[in-house]
Amino acid sequence: KAGVTQTPRYLIKTRGQQVTLSCSPISGHRSVSWYQQTPGQGLQFLFEYFSETQRNKGNFPGRFSGRQFSNSRSEMNVSTLELGDSALYLCASRVANTEAFFGQGTRLTVV
Amino acid sequence: GESVGLHLPTLSVQEGDNSIINCAYSNSASDYFIWYKQESGKGPQFIIDIRSNMDKRQGQRVTVLLNKTVKHLSLQIAATQPGDSAVYFCAENSGGGADGLTFGKGTHLIIQP
């Protein structure tokens, strides 16, 4: 079956802009979580959605938000982009309390 | 094989040797642990997992050991191959399935011919 699909793969934005990233989970997976990966901070948890509800949120400012649709697809949004938001954004889907399957990620560069 | 007592950002081993990658986790309430492999330009890929009611689990060429007393996790890779070259992360789940995974810093495994 198809894996986790993230779009776009690469994105370049200017400081102050906003961006929306998309994630399609593995069919049947209702939990979708988002992570930010940077060389300095490593992999950090952003938030998790299950059945269109945010269940948990990491320690990120309110500029980072997300949502999940009824078909389990998820989007995350970052507003008022800063240079430090440049990172690889990873989406993962899972069945409850099992391994998370990751997409290839979206590489965001803020200039 | 080469082992490390503490987390190292880089581990270099000879092809064919065994590799041991260590990880210290933070939350004594964590009940589920996963090892991921991440190759350049790709997302993390699941290798093996273990639940807190076990102390050892084996897969194909990989073994995970869990020591809850000292909150330590290790990944052993037997007969290391060039394709094993990647960054390896441990991750813990603090329970209930609702929380996100907390990842360790990662160890870059380099295979020397």
pLDDT tens per residue, range B66-92: 999 999 999 999 999 999 999 999 999
Is pLDDT of B4 > 60? no
Question: Which pLDDT band, with edges at 50, 70 and 90, does A75 fall under?
Answer: very high
Closest by Cα among A92, A88, A111 to A103: A92
Contacts of B89 in chain A (CB under 8 A): 42-43
Mutate to test the interface with B, among A10, A43, A44 (most CBs of B within 10 A): A43
Quick one: DSSP state of residue A40? T
B96 in contact with chain A, both atoms CB, cutoff 8 A: yes
**pLDDT score for B5:** 37
Neighbouring-strand partners of residue B46: B36
Average confidence score pLDDT of chain A: 94
B65 contact A CB<8A: no
Contacts of B32 in chain A (CB under 8 A): 97
pLDDT of B103 above 50: yes
Contact B98 A55 (CB under 8 A): yes
- Which SS3 state, helix, strand or coil, does residue A17 take? coil
Do residues A99 and A3 make contact, with C-beta atoms less than 8 angstroms apart?
no
Could you say which of B46, B101, B105 has the minimum Cβ distance to residue A45? B101
* Residue B3 banded pLDDT, cuts 50, 70, 90: very low
* HSE-CB of B91 using CA atoms within 13 angstroms: 31
According to the model, what pLDDT value does residue A93 have?
95
Tell me which chain B residues have a C-beta less than 8 angstroms from the C-beta of A99: 34, 46, 49
Mean pLDDT of B3-26: 82
Rounded Cα distance between B19 and B79, Å, is 8
